[in-house]
Amino acid sequence: MTLASRKPAIHITRDDHARLTKLADSYATSHPDLAEELYTELDRARVVAPEKPGSPFVRLGSRFRFTTDDGDDRTVTLVLPGEADILAGKVSVMTPMGVALIGLSGGQSMKWTARDGTVHTLTVVSVEADEEAVSGDLAEAHS
């Protein structure tokens, strides 16, 4: 892998890692490609304690601003699938874009492939951590 194609370093909390691993397991049969993308990101992420200080990074429940290579500039919240509502600015972690965003910090960029096969680059501009933990049963979120 060349330096230009290397993915940025990402972080994930222990709680989100466990929650997202279960979510990927639940998607493995119905959406194997998406589940595999999430497993890959979970495997390469540095797992940290939820209360670890430092730069905020995109995690479940965090609100953040990002830009894309096609000029979009949006502020959204990353949520579980059952909570997604694009009109309310809530993006599901179980979308190609959601998987690409998990763990990124401000200033980091990541390529992601849309469902139509188009490759995009997104850049996280800023992240503000959501103090409320994302709650809910994953089985309900995936139903």
Determine the Cα–Cα distance for residues 98 and 140; give it in Å rounded to an integer.
Answer: 19
Structural domain boundaries in the chain: 8-130
pLDDT in tens, 77-105: 999 999 999 899 999 999 999 999 999 99
Q: Label residues 27-55 b or e (16+ Cβ within 10 Å = b).
A: beeeeeebbebbbebbeebeebeeeeeee
* Distance (Å, whole) CA 10 – CA 105: 8
Q: Contact 70/81 with Cβ under 8 angstroms? A: no
Query: Top-level CATH class of 8-130?
Result: alpha beta
The Cα-based distances of 99 to 34, 52, 92, 96 in angstroms read 8, 22, 9, 5
Nearest to 91 by CA among 124, 49, 137, 50: 124
pLDDT, tens digit, 9 for 90 and up, residues 112-140: 888 888 899 999 999 985 554 443 334 34
What pLDDT, on a 0 to 100 scale, did the predictor assign at position 129?
A: 55
- At 24-68, the pLDDT tens digits run 999 999 999 999 999 999 999 999 987 665 678 999 999 999 999
